[in-house]
Each structure stands twice: as structure tokens, then as C-alpha cells.
């Protein structure tokens, strides 16, 4: 495997810069998706706001509100189905999942996060899915961020990794429920996204009846 792949744990990988060649096309797709299902601030059960602005594409979208976290087939903001997942997104996620050994990954959900300066995401597990046999594929675009990658328990000390434009992190199998987070984004400028960072998180939710 080439030196662009950094192993973070037994079944966790950081692929440096691999999405860079198609990054402009990915950002164009995000613009199209958000023309249909705009970025919005989601609230939590406890009444706080989720820091990153979010939207989704694919058959299911991750949402948070006063009822908690879940996946829905309908965007609660538009009352329409989420925009379909662009072929470019699906191909990218499947290609790199397969490269690191996850050969049967077919994401049905893509959460799109938008981070402004000062916004991060606290340490958490991705566990709102009904199937943990499939990996998480996470693509970074725009302004850089520091990714915290912890263990399967919250109190395990995380390691820290710089995520730049075009980097992809993939974790699954034994590592599927590892805690992870994003430190607040520093004020910086990227020529394609200005002060913003975007992240695409691809998941296979398993069967969810919404």
C-alpha cells in the first residue's frame, strides 16, 4: 500500500490527500445538494445546538432534535426526501473502503457537516445505525482540522491527527465504535471554501424503518 495510508488502529486508516483530485467536483455536488436541502443548525434533546451545520444526501439522513438522534427518509426542513447520493460520492467512499479491506461497503446515508471557525464536534461514537459490520468513511474538505481518535471507551486517551483538504479517514470492524471528535476549527482560509471546513460522513445504517 502506498505511503499515503496511515494506520491509526487495527482497522482504522487515514488516507492522505486521496480525494484532492476530485475535491472541486465534490464541492459542486455539495452546492447542488444544499440548494435542495440547505445546511441547518440542529438542536439536541437537551436543548443545545449541534455546532456544525448539517444536511444529508442518500436514502436516509441523520437528524437531531428535541426527540433525540435518528435517521429519517424525509428531510424535516423541506418535507421532501433527502437529495439522492451523487454517484461520485458513492464511488469515492466504496473505492477507498475497499482499498483498506472493507469490500462490501454500500453507503445509504451521507451526512454533510459544515464547520465555521471556532466550531468543533465533541468526542462521540457513531452508534445510531442498526448495523455495525460496515465501516465509517469520512472525507475532509476545505480548512484543516484536528481529529481526535479515541478508544472504545470514552476515558481512553485519544490520539490527534491533522486532517487536510482531501484526506479520508476510515474505521470499522473492531474499531467501528471508537470515540472520535473534531477540535474547534481555527480561523484560516482555503481557496475553495473560504473559512469553512466540510466533512462527508458515509454510513450504511442497516435496515431502519423510519
Ligand X SMILES: O=C(O)CCC(=O)C(=O)O
Contact residues for ligand X, defined by CB under 6 A = 111, 113, 121, 126, 138, 140, 147, 180, 182, 199, 201
The entry of ligand X, Fe ion, none that residue 56 binds, CB within 5 to 8 Å by partner kind: none
Residue (25 or 64) nearer to Fe ion, CB: 64
Q: Minimum distance between the CB of residue 126 and Fe ion, rounded to whole angstroms?
A: 4
Residue (12 or 79) nearer to ligand X, CB: 12
145, 182 Cβ separation under 8 angstroms: yes
Element (H, E) at 98: helix 87-99
145 to 51, 142, 198: CA distances (angstroms): 14, 9, 10
Distance CA 133, CA 138 (A): 16
Residue (127 or 157) nearer to Fe ion, CB: 127
Q: Minimum distance between the CB of residue 99 and ligand X, rounded to whole angstroms?
A: 19
36 to 59, 75, 79, 80, 184: CA distances (angstroms): 14, 10, 11, 9, 28
Question: Does 96 show up as a binding residue in the annotation?
Answer: no
The entry of Fe ion, ligand X, none that residue 199 binds, CB within 5 to 8 Å by partner kind: ligand X
Amino acid at each position: 500500500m502506498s505511503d499515503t495510508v496511515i494506520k491509526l488502529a487495527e482497522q482504522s486508516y487515514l488516507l492522505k490527500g486521496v480525494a484532492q483530485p476530485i475535491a472541486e467536483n465534490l464541492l459542486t455536488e455539495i452546492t447542488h445538494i444544499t440548494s435542495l436541502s440547505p445546511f441547518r443548525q440542529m438542536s439536541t434533546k437537551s436543548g443545545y445546538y449541534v455546532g456544525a451545520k448539517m444536511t444529508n444526501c442518500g436514502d436516509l439522513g441523520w437528524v437531531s432534535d428535541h426527540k433525540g438522534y435518528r435517521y429519517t427518509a424525509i428531510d424535516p426542513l423541506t418535507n421532501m426526501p433527502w437529495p439522492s447520493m451523487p454517484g461520485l460520492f458513492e464511488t469515492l467512499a466504496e473505492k477507498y473502503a475497499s482499498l483498506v479491506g472493507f469490500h462490501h461497503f454500500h453507503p445509504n446515508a451521507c451526512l454533510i457537516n459544515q464547520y465555521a471557525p471556532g466550531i468543533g464536534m465533541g468526542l462521540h461514537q457513531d452508534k445510531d445505525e442498526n448495523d455495525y459490520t460496515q465501516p465509517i468513511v469520512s472525507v475532509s474538505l476545505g480548512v484543516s482540522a484536528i481529529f481526535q481518535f479515541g478508544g472504545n471507551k470514552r476515558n481512553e486517551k485519544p490520539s490527534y491527527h491533522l486532517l487536510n483538504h482531501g484526506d479520508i479517514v476510515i474505521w470499522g470492524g473492531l474499531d467501528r465504535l471508537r470515540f472520535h471528535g473534531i477540535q474547534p476549527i481555527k480561523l484560516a482560509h482555503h481557496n475553495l471554501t473560504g473559512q469553512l471546513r466540510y466533512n462527508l460522513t458515509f454510513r450504511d445504517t442497516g435496515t431502519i424503518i423510519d
